[in-house]
């Protein structure tokens, strides 16, 4: 046989590995990026191979697709055999036109447990456990190995949160494991490669167990709850070790393990931690363990990337404010922890308190935004040289820390340790306005701090809950910034698990009150909040083109619509005003005028709730069409028509006025196409008046007047109806309410309310979180409208791309990128002194793109060639001008 290489060149091809790479079922949605400078115009065929060794030796091959004639590079599902505890390597070869070929390096995925039967060991509860809000217990086991294993894995989870040590070394670098799920239905376990931890001879494993979300204090004082999921912490673990000969042996949690106590004297998500380093290495009184009941069918391999540390931040200011007291400013509000390095006498103590802001004089902490959460660390030194401490079982939201030392000790250093769910970054943005760049940065930081296994409202006060409304409105922004698919898939599974029998979705997911209904009766079913069950899968679908996310959630979406319909026989929602009543809705929460709390909205709850009822019904109909569920689609199309007609009857007068003449009302109505054609122009004028009226009689008059949910759609809706100039003016407002006010006041994350600190520097006294991403949802508009990077709604997932920028000389030059499953999309524009725009964009190979330019664009060239009259007309039309992948540069003149 000839040794010569096949015709055509070999180019590297990048594989998109499943996230996380350890799975408990056949991986779906395998895909790859085509090489960027490939000589072929398009892929014509692919072959995907899977083997159990990285050399793909003949005996190790387990599956191949064969050569598949297709231009698709995404959504290949593994259909080969699968056994538990096995690493699989996969690689792809593609063929293009003109004889081009390309192939990838191997990537891998690995199986953990494929069924409950594979899950060995018992959930064991330490007998030394003193109960919630007390000293953290541990479980331990010693074992002997004849030789160091060739490979070894630890499969581990807990009731509560765990930290595991093998032979004294911490396993993994993940924080707050196993994260937060609706534990009784779904408990995630983690997989660690522990071969390097083990040795021939004696070995030990020790697992510390903290209360965490499982049984620690959760919810604000009026509804405070402990033991939300159970009153005993526990651990389930299997160390699976394979020797050179391939023989497996396991050490599993069972009644032979011992229990003890740890140096963590108290820990909790809200209160913080008390840690006595003098107890390190001493387990205290040793006890046995009890086997706790566990339904193993609830176990799932960790579904989303774990919480990890980001690079540590050093203080930007550190000063003494009293004997032994140091005030530290890290310059950035984060969620995470601090790492202290100390030196001093055994028994000396250090207390650390935290705050997001300082008091008005800048002399000390102002921790009012923590409300009922104590957020305090107490550490006792063991003495004898430098020692470091970082809390084990808690996290806090803070920018500032105050360190108080009692006794003979010295603070050698203190660092801020930001945490985040380790999702792949996918977005970048900059423009010429530094305030807007900082706003974008603040949204990124709020995402980092609030995406801690669950999308939280805030990371600092006595909530930190998975408020469904906040996450829903921020999800499109988040999806430009990160690969959110695994994160939201996991959270949606909890949402479905917590869905009530009548279809209502809980206000927070996971719902810690699920088994304590009397504590917060009827904490379910608000418009927008509950509609997350429709909107979030739709967002993931838009960004990934993954039909499975729709298929998986469709039944729950249908049940949600059933719940709404049960209260709205005539098609209009009439929410009650008391939170405990069925059908209550938060409405357009935190509207800036008047009170920040209900009731005082200027957009009626009935209006908001009916608009959402319509939007979700339409989403269900669309999802059902995509999935070929014709009966469900038809039923929901008819229902959507009915709701729309009812909405128009109820909320639009015969002369075309909206019943609530507020900005939010126009946003909800236009965003959801609820205004009849005949009243369109009139409603646009009314909308403008609502925006200018809000600012009062003074110039410039215009002012934003929406709460958290309408604000998220405000600028996109203005753009949708052609009011670009008003959108940009609202964005550029530097007073409150407006996005840039807080930036000018030094915000480093997004605030919960526009006036979190007033002009005199006085902080708001309630609802004053300084790290609440909801208003950061405006960042969606930066990518979608300003840069013009859009997924095609007809063919989501960015295989088909719409390039539809809006140009504003004030922001030029502007640059953005978004990493899709097909590769990176880049777009940026400049505007010269004569108002001529140069817009450059790059779309990845293997995609289709259509360019849609703003109305009035003239003298259009592309890649130095003037567009023909017909091409120009298409670029200004609804369907847009098809453009081939690669880098294109368009120039144009804007309408005066």
Catalytically active residues, by annotation: 463, 752
DSSP 435-493: HHHHHHHHHHHHHHHHEESEE-S-SSSS----BHHHHHHHHHHHHHHB--HHHHHHHHH
Stretch in the footprint of ligand BGC (CB under 6 A) among 171-179, 200-208, 457-465, 603-611: 457-465
Among 457, 546, 606, 629, binds ligand BGC (CB under 6 A): 457
Q: Whole-number minimum distance, CB 770 to ligand BGC, in Å?
A: 12
Contact 164, 205 (CB under 8 A): yes
Q: Which is nearer to ligand BGC, 208 or 584 (CB)?
A: 584
Take residue 657 and report the two structure tokens written for it: 């006025």
Which DSSP category does 121 fall into? Answer: S
Q: Which is nearer to ligand BGC, 267 or 591 (CB)?
A: 591
Q: How far is it, in rounded angstroms, from Cα 816 to Cα 821?
A: 17
Among 303, 470, 546, 588, binds ligand BGC (CB under 6 A): 470
Stretch in the footprint of ligand BGC (CB under 6 A) among 170-178, 461-469, 788-796, 877-885: 461-469
Q: How far is it, in rounded angstroms, from Cα 554 to Cα 547?
A: 11
Q: Which is nearer to ligand BGC, 604 or 797 (CB)?
A: 604
Please, which residues have CB within 8 angstroms of residue 211's CB and are 6 or more apart in sequence? 132, 133, 136, 160, 161, 233, 267, 268, 269, 393
Q: Whole-number minimum distance, CB 776 to ligand BGC, in Å?
A: 12
Q: Which is nearer to ligand BGC, 468 or 748 (CB)?
A: 468
Query: What is the H or E stretch that residue 873 is in?
Result: helix 869-875
Contact 408, 298 (CB under 8 A): no
Nearest to 825 by CA among 438, 546, 429, 431: 429
88 binds ligand BGC (CB under 6 A): no
Q: How far is it, in rounded angstroms, from Cα 637 to Cα 729?
A: 37
Q: Whole-number minimum distance, CB 330 to ligand BGC, in Å?
A: 23
Stretch in the footprint of ligand BGC (CB under 6 A) among 94-102, 227-235, 288-296, 455-463: 455-463
Nearest to 663 by CA among 602, 607, 738, 596: 602
Take residue 467 and report the two structure tokens written for it: 């408020």
Residues touching ligand BGC: how many (CB under 6 A)? 9
Instruction: Classify strands 169-170 and 234-242 as parallel, antiparallel or unpaired.
Output: unpaired
Q: Which is nearer to ligand BGC, 467 or 739 (CB)?
A: 467
The gap between the terminal CA atoms of the chain, to the nearest Å, is 70
Among 238, 463, 605, 629, binds ligand BGC (CB under 6 A): 463
Helix axes 547-566, 485-498, angle to 10 degrees: 30
Q: Whole-number minimum distance, CB 563 to ligand BGC, in Å?
A: 19
Stretch in the footprint of ligand BGC (CB under 6 A) among 199-207, 456-464, 656-664, 881-889: 456-464
The contact pattern for ligand BGC, residues 40-59, with x = CB under 6 A and - = no contact, is --------------------
The overall longest dimension of the chain from CA atoms, in Å, is 87
Q: Which is nearer to ligand BGC, 233 or 456 (CB)?
A: 456
Residues 228 to 287 in contact with ligand BGC, rule: CB under 6 A: none
Take residue 53 and report the two structure tokens written for it: 């060794």
Q: Which is nearer to ligand BGC, 487 or 751 (CB)?
A: 751
Q: How far is it, in rounded angstroms, from Cα 378 to Cα 406?
A: 11
Q: How far is it, in rounded angstroms, from Cα 368 to Cα 414?
A: 23
Q: Which is nearer to ligand BGC, 298 or 368 (CB)?
A: 368
Rounded (5°) CA angle 57-61-65: 130
Take residue 290 and report the two structure tokens written for it: 């009890």
Contact 378, 389 (CB under 8 A): no
Q: How far is it, in rounded angstroms, from Cα 508 to Cα 438?
A: 30
CA 578 from chain centre, in angstroms, equals 30
Question: Is cis: bond before 737, omega within 30 of 0?
Answer: yes
469 binds ligand BGC (CB under 6 A): yes
Please, which residues have CB within 8 angstroms of residue 455's CB and are 6 or more apart in sequence? 466, 470, 471, 474, 475, 478, 487, 488, 491
Q: Which residues share a beta bridge with 801? A: 791, 849
Residues 747 to 786 in contact with ligand BGC, rule: CB under 6 A: 772
Q: Whole-number minimum distance, CB 56 to ligand BGC, in Å?
A: 50
Take residue 363 and report the two structure tokens written for it: 């002399």
Q: Which is nearer to ligand BGC, 772 or 785 (CB)?
A: 772
Q: Whole-number minimum distance, CB 612 to ligand BGC, in Å?
A: 14
Q: Whole-number minimum distance, CB 457 to ligand BGC, in Å?
A: 4
Q: Which is nearer to ligand BGC, 772 or 821 (CB)?
A: 772
Q: Whole-number minimum distance, CB 111 to ligand BGC, in Å?
A: 38
Residues 588 to 617 in contact with ligand BGC, rule: CB under 6 A: 589
Q: Which is nearer to ligand BGC, 500 or 618 (CB)?
A: 500
Q: Whole-number minimum distance, CB 590 to ligand BGC, in Å?
A: 8
Q: Which is nearer to ligand BGC, 458 or 789 (CB)?
A: 458
Among 102, 431, 454, 458, binds ligand BGC (CB under 6 A): 458
Contact 419, 308 (CB under 8 A): yes
Contact 610, 646 (CB under 8 A): yes
Q: Whole-number minimum distance, CB 599 to ligand BGC, in Å?
A: 13
On the CB side of 818, how many CA atoms lie within 13 Å of its CA? 30
Q: Which is nearer to ligand BGC, 643 or 750 (CB)?
A: 750
Q: How far is it, in rounded angstroms, from Cα 775 to Cα 710?
A: 10
Q: Whole-number minimum distance, CB 456 to ligand BGC, in Å?
A: 9
Stretch in the footprint of ligand BGC (CB under 6 A) among 297-305, 389-397, 467-475, 834-842: 467-475
Among 389, 586, 773, 783, binds ligand BGC (CB under 6 A): 586
- What b-and-e string marks burial along 564-584, b requiring 16 or more CB atoms within 10 Å of the CB? bbebbeebbbebeeeeeebbb
Q: Whole-number minimum distance, CB 470 to ligand BGC, in Å?
A: 5
The contact pattern for ligand BGC, residues 141-180, with x = CB under 6 A and - = no contact, is ----------------------------------------
Q: How far is it, in rounded angstroms, from Cα 367 to Cα 355?
A: 5
705 binds ligand BGC (CB under 6 A): no
Q: Whole-number minimum distance, CB 767 to ligand BGC, in Å?
A: 7
The contact pattern for ligand BGC, residues 539-578, with x = CB under 6 A and - = no contact, is ----------------------------------------
Residues 313 to 342 in contact with ligand BGC, rule: CB under 6 A: none
The contact pattern for ligand BGC, residues 97-136, with x = CB under 6 A and - = no contact, is ----------------------------------------
Query: What is the H or E stretch that residue 890 is in?
Result: strand 886-893
| Contact residues for ligand BGC, defined by CB under 6 A | 457-458, 463, 467, 469-470, 586, 589, 772
């Amino acid at each position: 046989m000839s040794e010569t290489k096949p015709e055509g060149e070999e180019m590297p091809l990048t594989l998109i590995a499943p996230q996380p790479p350890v799975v408990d079922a056949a991986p779906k949605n395998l895909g790859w990026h085509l090489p960027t400078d490939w000589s072929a115009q398009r892929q014509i065929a692919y072959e995907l191979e899977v083997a159990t060794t990285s050399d793909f030796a003949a005996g190790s091959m387990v599956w191949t697709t064969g050569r598949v004639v297709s231009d698709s590079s995404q959504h290949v599902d593994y259909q080969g055999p699968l056994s538990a505890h096995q690493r699989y390597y996969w690689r792809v070869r593609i063929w293009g036109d003109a004889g081009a070929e390309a192939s990838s390096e191997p990537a891998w995925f690995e199986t953990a447990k494929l069924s409950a039967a594979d899950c060995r060991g018992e959930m064991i509860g330490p007998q030394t456990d003193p109960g919630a809000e007390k000293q953290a217990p541990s479980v331990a086991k010693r074992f002997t190995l004849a030789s160091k294993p060739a490979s070894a894995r630890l499969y581990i989870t807990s009731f509560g949160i765990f930290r595991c040590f093998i032979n004294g070394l911490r396993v993994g670098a993940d924080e707050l494991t196993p994260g937060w799920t609706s534990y009784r239905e779904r408990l995630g376990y983690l997989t660690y490669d522990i071969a390097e931890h083990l040795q021939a001879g004696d070995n030990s494993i020790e697992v510390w167990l903290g209360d965490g979300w499982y049984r620690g204090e959760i919810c604000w004082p009026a509804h405070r709850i402990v033991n939300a999921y159970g009153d005993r912490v526990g651990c389930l673990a299997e160390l699976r070790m394979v020797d050179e000969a391939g023989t497996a042996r396991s050490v599993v949690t069972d009644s032979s393990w011992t229990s003890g106590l740890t140096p963590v004297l108290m820990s909790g998500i809200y209160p913080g931690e008390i840690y006595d380093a003098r107890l390190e290495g001493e387990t205290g009184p040793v006890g046995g363990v009890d086997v706790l009941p566990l339904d193993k069918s609830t176990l799932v391999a960790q579904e989303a990337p774990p919480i990890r540390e980001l690079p540590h931040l050093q203080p930007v200011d550190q000063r003494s404010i009293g004997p032994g007291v140091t005030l530290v400013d890290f310059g950035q509000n984060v969620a995470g922890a601090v790492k202290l390095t100390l030196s001093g006498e055994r028994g000396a103590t250090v207390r650390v308190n935290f705050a997001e802001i300082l008091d008005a004089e800048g002399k000390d902490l102002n921790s009012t935004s923590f409300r009922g959460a104590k957020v305090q660390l107490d550490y006792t030194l063991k003495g004898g040289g430098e020692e470091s401490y970082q809390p084990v079982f808690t996290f806090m939201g803070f920018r500032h820390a105050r360190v108080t030392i009692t006794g003979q000790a010295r603070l050698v250093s203190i660092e801020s340790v930001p945490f985040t769910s380790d999702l792949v970054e996918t977005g970048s943005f900059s423009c010429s306005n530094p305030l807007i760049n900082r706003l974008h940065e603040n949204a990124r930081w709020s995402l980092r701090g609030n995406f801690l296994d669950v999308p939280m409202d805030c990371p600092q006060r006595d909530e930190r809950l998975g408020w469904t409304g906040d996450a829903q409105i921020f999800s499109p922004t988040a999806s430009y910034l990160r690969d959110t698919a695994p994160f939201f898939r996991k959270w949606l599974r909890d949402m479905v698990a917590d869905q009530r029998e009548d279809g209502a979705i809980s206000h927070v997911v996971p719902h810690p009150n699920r088994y304590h209904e009397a504590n917060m009766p009827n904490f379910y079913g608000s418009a927008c909040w509950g509609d997350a069950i429709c909107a979030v899968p739709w967002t993931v679908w838009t960004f990934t083109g993954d039909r499975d996310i729709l298929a998986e959630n469709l039944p729950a979406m249908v049940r949600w619509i059933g719940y709404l319909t049960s209260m709205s026989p005539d098609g209009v929602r009439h929410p009650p005003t008391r939170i405990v009543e069925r059908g209550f809705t938060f409405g357009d929460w935190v509207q800036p005028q008047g009170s920040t709390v209900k009731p005082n909205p200027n957009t009626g709850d009935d209006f908001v709730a009916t608009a959402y009822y319509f939007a979700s019904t339409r989403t269900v109909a669309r999802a059902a069409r995509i999935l070929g569920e014709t009966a469900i689609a038809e039923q929901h199309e008819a229902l959507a028509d009915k709701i729309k007609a009812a909405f128009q009857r109820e909320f639009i007068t015969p002369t075309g006025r909206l019943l609530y003449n507020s900005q939010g009302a126009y946003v909800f109505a236009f965003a959801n196409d609820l205004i009849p054609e005949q009243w369109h122009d009139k409603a646009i004028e009314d909308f403008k008046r609502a925006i200018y009226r809000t600012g009062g009689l003074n110039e410039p008059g215009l002012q934003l007047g929406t709460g958290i949910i309408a604000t998220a759609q405000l600028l996109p809706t203005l753009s949708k109806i052609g009011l670009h100039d008003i959108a940009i003016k609202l964005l550029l407002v530097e007073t409150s309410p407006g996005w840039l006010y807080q930036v000018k006041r030094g915000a480093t994350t997004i605030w919960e309310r526009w006036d979190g600190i007033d002009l005199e520097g006085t902080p708001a006294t309630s609802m004053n979180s300084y790290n609440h991403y909801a208003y950061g949802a405006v960042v969606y508009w930066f990518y979608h409208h300003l840069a013009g990077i859009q997924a095609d709604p007809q063919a989501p997932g960015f295989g088909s791309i719409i390039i539809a920028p809006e140009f504003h000389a004030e922001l030029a030059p502007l640059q953005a990128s978004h990493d899709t499953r097909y590769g990176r999309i880049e777009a940026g524009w400049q505007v010269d002194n004569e108002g001529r725009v140069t817009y450059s964009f790059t779309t990845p190979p293997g995609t289709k793109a259509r360019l849609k330019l703003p109305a009035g664009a003239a003298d259009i060239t592309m890649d130095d060639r003037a567009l023909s009259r017909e091409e120009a007309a298409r670029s200004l039309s609804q369907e847009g001008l098809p453009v081939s992948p690669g880098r294109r540069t368009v120039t144009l003149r804007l309408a005066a």
